[in-house]
Amino acid sequence: MNNKKITLLASSVVFMEWLEYALYMYLGLAISHWFFPTSNGDLPLILTYAIFAISYIGRPLGGLVFGLYADKKGRRKPLIFSSLLAGVATAGIGLIPSYGHIGMLAPALLLVCRLAQSFAVSGEWNNSSIFLIEHAQKNRVLAGAWIGTAGSAGMFFGGVVAYLVSLSSHPNSWQIAFVSIGLLSIVLASFRKQLSESPEFVEFKKTRASSNTKIFHTLSKHKLGVFKIATIAAFLCVYIYTCNIYFMSYMITKLGYSASSASFNMSVLQGVVTVLIPLFALLAERLGYLKVLKWSVPAIGLMSVIQFYGASVQSHELIVVGFIIYALANSGVSACIFKYMFDSLPVEVRCTGSSLAYSVSAAIFGGTAPLLAATLIDKGYALMPAGYVVAVAFVTFISITLKPQARPTQNQVGAQN
């Protein structure tokens, strides 16, 4: 199988999962009215975000299960299982009856589906990028960046679908979208059976055939690598969920934007990011991905301050400036993060360490970010969400500059600072 087909199949389900994630958050208001009584002000929206946050507890378990399997048996099969589970969970969300029909069973079933979705995505995000980079013989920053591109494209189309749903007169249009996305993910799982195993993993198994690698013992020797992955994962989740996904609901509920206008703005923003990520990956191939990260991370912190300050004074011009910085800096981070995580751990523990560290960090920081932002804004702390992003950006920048990346294997080639 050629690299283009491998890239397409490996990144396709990432696209579908981020489309679903974006759709859930962009349509938070509509979804909250389906699963909760509508007579409680902003509480239904906060509860919808709370379910999203609680569901992230499924990520560490999924990261452990899929990561261990990928490091012991191979990268290919976990990608099939995770896409199948994600498809079933996504379709399930669209098939749940409303609160008006089944009462509190509706949000309970929503939580079950979101837990399954979180479990599945933990085996998808990191393992797909590792799979692509291990297949690539050159341009490994770009190879990993296709996963970031797929995720960004998913968010872009999530905004497009949210925009179309906001214009639709059909009361169940958002459910049709979820069921369709789920079914497509299930179909893609069947196509993934055509994937060949990672050549780097196959080579490792040949040379270490008689070795029974003790994964957690090996991971204990790479604490810095695990820390680097955890911090940049927290950073990515916090700024995306705060400054993009939550900010759209903020534009609607606090700034007076219509649902269609907010969806359109976020769709354009994400479309620009999608185009820029591969370009920044090529830039990182020339300059070194650490250089690109070192300017992108502080830029995100600056962006969050401009964005939320602009919102607090209702300055459309400052919000637009924030969006421009977001597009550039987010593209830089998304282009480089996968090669950065890849180089942090050796092949024998790469999937377990990367998936587990990323998932735990995402569960703690990512799932709670929209809920925290919504609560802070509701309490009148208009700039505190930006302060949170700045604090996480500072810690991440320090972790990037602590010391050189962990020892690379003989097959790990790529741009370094």
The pLDDT tens digits along the chain (417 residues) read 677 889 999 899 899 988 988 888 778 888 998 998 877 677 888 888 889 888 888 888 988 899 889 988 889 899 999 999 999 999 999 999 999 899 999 999 999 999 999 898 887 888 999 999 999 888 999 999 999 999 999 988 887 888 888 787 777 888 999 999 999 999 998 999 888 888 888 888 777 654 556 777 677 788 899 999 999 999 999 999 899 878 877 888 778 888 778 878 888 888 999 999 999 999 999 999 999 999 999 999 999 999 999 988 888 899 999 999 999 999 999 999 999 999 999 888 899 899 889 988 988 888 788 888 888 888 888 889 999 999 999 999 999 988 754 444 444 444 444
Given this model, what pLDDT does residue 213 score? 60
Distances (CA, A) of 160 to 40, 48, 120, 165, 256: 29, 21, 24, 9, 20
Q: What is the DSSP letter of 348?
A: G
Question: How many angstroms separate the CA atoms of 398 and 376, rounded?
Answer: 26
Q: Contact 297/393 with Cβ under 8 angstroms?
A: yes
Given this model, what pLDDT does residue 212 score? 55
Burial of 160 (0-12, 13-18, 19+ CB in 10 A): buried
Dig out the tokens for 284 from the structure.
């990182």
pTM of the model: 0.84
Nearest of 30, 18, 152, 177 to residue 91 by alpha carbon: 177
Question: How many angstroms separate the CA atoms of 390 and 229, rounded?
Answer: 18
Helix pair angle (223-240, 316-342), 10° resolution: 160
* Percent helix, percent strand, percent coil in the chain, to nearest 5: 80, 0, 20
Alpha carbon 224 to its chain's center: 22
Given this model, what pLDDT does residue 209 score? 54
Given this model, what pLDDT does residue 109 score? 96
Given this model, what pLDDT does residue 286 score? 95
Given this model, what pLDDT does residue 407 score? 47
Burial of 328 (0-12, 13-18, 19+ CB in 10 A): middle
Alpha carbon 5 to its chain's center: 22
